[in-house]
Amino acid sequence: MISDNPYLPWPAELIEVVDETPTIKTLVVRPEEPLAFRAGQFVQLTVPGMGEAPFTPSSSPLEGQRIALTILRTGTVTEQMHQCRPGQVLGLRGPFGKGYPLEKLQGKEVLVVGGGVGLAPLRALILALLAQLDGIKRMSIKYGARCMEELLYRSEYSRWTPNPKVDFTCTIDRPQAGWDGRTGMVTTLLKNLDVDKANCYVFVCGPSIMLKFVTFELVAEGFHKDHIYLSMNRRMSCGMGLCGRCNIGPYYLCKDGPDVNYALIENYPNVF
Amino acid sequence: MTTYFMSAEVLARAVDQWQDSAILGPLVTERLAWLDSMDTSGVSSMSILEALRQPRAAQSLKGVMLPASESLGRYGSRAPAATAIQTAATVVLGVRACELRALGYLDKVFLAGAVEDPSYRARRQRTTIVSCDCVAFAETCFCTLVGGRPFATGGFDVNLTPLEDGWIVEVASDKGRKLLGSVQPAQATGEQLARREDVRRRMTQRVADQNKAFSFSAGDAAAPKLPEGGDDGWQKFAADCVECGGCTNICPTCHCFYLYDQTPGPSTFERVRTWDSCLLNAYHRMAGGVHMKLSPRPLLLSRLANRVLHKYVYSPQQYGLAGCTGCGRCIDACPGAIDIRRVVQELAR
């Protein structure tokens, strides 16, 4: 969907708005032309006249005409996005980035670790892998949110787990009335896992602080650094490695990421 | 390549012919600023040529290819059409070797990636480059420390070398040949070319002598070993940085930009690109709440380190080219008197 001018967005009609949590909405858009993307690639969503912000679609890459973008209200542009109503025409640029390295997962175990709205891009990975479960050995999903109300995609968890190859565990930060599940940070779900660590790929997405402690926990637990893929938080503008602001060392996350393996970046400063 | 010799009067007649194109060249003033569009009726071609004997201009070629602010086109409810980019054919006169090297770097960034930048490409194609050897240099010039020389051997359409009694004119492309128009110069003689070599050798030596105090050597394939941005060594220099972004604006290879949208009319939206600077805190700042880490480089020392590391260490990895061409403009521009030569000299291990 990249035209001669890669800086201008293509029109995309907003067809549905889903209230996910008190702070998160999913905007489903229909691009004028179907968008072919790989799970983990991202798009720039434009509110015309207001500006754009990067999101990795949370929907399956198999559906190019219904792109779901799950958005936390956290700044000027996302506030505007939360005000949008179905029928409105937004803009889309992309896809950008490499996407998840699905080709490496053949016959492997997959550990998916999400924090808060970080489950959104991972949902595209989960849906892509659910569609080809024969290819992988097993998928384990660990998810943490601040509180019960902030758990994303609550109605879907049971749909992810009917196959014994898939398991899902979630936790909330602190005990809460009406919650009988696990409490504590998502790192508490990563201890003493019964997985073949040498043959397990891990995909992590969440806020910076969560990425940091999950990574340290995973390394301490014996996971290989080059098997840990982090969805790094950086400001991204052009999406093509030109505008400069998303670098970690010589890597531009928009072009070389947004998910990068930890071994590639661990020795650069200011990673987390 | 064909190499001619011209008297100043003959070369000035050639420059006269370029009046149809906008000529960007050094303004005949003490400070040698670039003119955005030089009106040659006001300044004689002879005095333009005389100005070329002065050190490099205050600004580089960058702004010609990548304006400080430009519209990237309008968008709305229809698919974006190929945007026609209006740029006049331009002759840029007096470009220095360090700027040509920087242009090669920008070409890698904007033309050799997965996507070509349409407005950069349009400006690049419509520009004819007339470079000029340096026969004088600024106190801050240090091209020889980063593998450069004060004269160009490629990347131009026409290159000029001022000699005492005239000019060596080297034509490297059809565009360059067209520039000479009706002027029919004589080929340079062996003796004249030998004098050019002599001028070049002496100038290279003088720039090297000026930088004798610095012992590092860097370049496209040689990155100095600089500490990463978490290292406290950077603080000494960051203490003098006032976070103005002057160094990145004036740098011939710094190309970071910011995209923003405006609404020029009902249902008409426009995307604008403007220069940005990695030294500024807001450059990295993300949206988010107070409890979140919104900038990956909240410390100025990390941002300063990132800029220098990008020039000297990351760029050779990314593009096979050094990001610093030794033009010294950032040293001139810095209100805190930060000298990038000293930074590299003191921190390289």
- Least confident interval from A149-158, A179-188, B70-79, B198-207: B70-79
Residue A115 belongs to some domain of the structure = yes
The pLDDT, as a whole number, for residue B79 is 76
Residues B22-28 have a mean pLDDT of: 64
Tell which of A38, A68, A96 closes a domain: A96
Select from B110, B231, B284 the Cβ nearest to the Cβ of A235: B284
The pLDDT, as a whole number, for residue A26 is 98
Residues B189 and B310 in one domain: no
Q: How far is A216 from chain B (nearest CA, A)?
A: 18
Residues A210 and A116 in one domain: yes
Q: Minimal Cα distance from A31: which residue of B?
A: B79
Tell which of B151, B178, B210 closes a domain: B210
Q: How far is B77 from chain A (nearest CA, A)?
A: 6
Tell which of A50, A74, A96 closes a domain: A96
Q: B75 and A267: CB-CB below 8 Å?
A: no
Residues A47 and A120 in one domain: no
Taking phi over 0 as left and psi of -120 to 50 as alpha, with beta for the rest, B184 belongs to: beta
Tell which of A34, A63, A96 closes a domain: A96
> Which residues face A169 on adjacent strands?
A142
Q: What is the pLDDT of residues A115-143, one digit of tens each?
A: 999 999 999 999 999 999 999 999 999 99
Measured between beta carbons, which residues in chain B are less than 8 angstroms from residue A8?
Answer: 72-75, 80, 83, 271
Q: What is the pLDDT of residues A49-64, one digit of tens each?
A: 999 999 999 999 999 8
Instruction: Measure CA A209 to chain center.
Output: 16
CATH of the domain at A178: 3.40.50.80
Q: Minimal Cα distance from B264: which residue of A?
A: A49
Instruction: Give yes or no for residue B305 having a pLDDT over 70.
Output: yes
Taking phi over 0 as left and psi of -120 to 50 as alpha, with beta for the rest, B205 belongs to: alpha
Q: How far is A163 from chain B (nearest CA, A)?
A: 37
pLDDT class of B217 with cuts at 50, 70, 90: confident
Residues A156 and A50 in one domain: no
Residues B123-139 have a mean pLDDT of: 94
Residues B108 and B236 in one domain: no
Residue B220 belongs to some domain of the structure = no
Cβ–Cβ contact A235 with B under 8 A: yes
What is the domain range of residue A141?
102-231
Q: Kind of pairing, strands A42-47 and A89-96?
A: antiparallel
Please state the pTM of the whole predicted model. Answer: 0.95
Residues A87 and A193 in one domain: no
The pLDDT, as a whole number, for residue A116 is 96
* Domains of chain A: total: 2
Residues A67 and A165 in one domain: no
- Least confident interval from B33-37, B48-52, B298-302: B33-37
Residues B129 and B35 in one domain: yes
The pLDDT, as a whole number, for residue B148 is 97
- Interface size A-B, in CB pairs within 8 Å, comes to 149
Residue B166 belongs to some domain of the structure = yes
Residue A189 belongs to some domain of the structure = yes
Residues A188-205 have a mean pLDDT of: 96
Residue B249 belongs to some domain of the structure = yes
A247 neighbors B314 (Cβ within 8 angstroms): yes
Residues B169 and B25 in one domain: yes
Rg (CA), chain B: 22
CATH of the domain at A36: 2.40.30.10
Cβ–Cβ contact B335 with A under 8 A: no
Beta-strand (E) ranges in B44-99?
A: 69-75, 90-95
Residues A201 and A140 in one domain: yes
Residue A252 belongs to some domain of the structure = no
Measured CA to CA in angstroms, residue A49 lies from A38, A153, B198 at distances of 28, 31, 58
The pLDDT, as a whole number, for residue B29 is 46
Residues A164 and A217 in one domain: yes
What is the domain range of residue B239?
232-347
Q: A6 and B115: CB-CB below 8 Å?
A: yes
Residues B142 and B265 in one domain: no
Higher model confidence: residue A111 or residue B81?
Answer: A111
Residues B243 and B156 in one domain: no
The pLDDT, as a whole number, for residue B96 is 95
**For chain B, what is the mean pLDDT?**
90
* Domains of chain B: total: 2
Q: B314 and A250: CB-CB below 8 Å?
A: yes
Tell which of B175, B210, B245 closes a domain: B210
Measured between beta carbons, which residues in chain B are less than 8 angstroms from residue A51?
Answer: 259-261
Q: Minimal Cα distance from B272: which residue of A?
A: A7
Q: Kind of pairing, strands B69-75 and B90-95?
A: unpaired
Q: How far is A124 from chain B (nearest CA, A)?
A: 23
The pLDDT, as a whole number, for residue B33 is 52
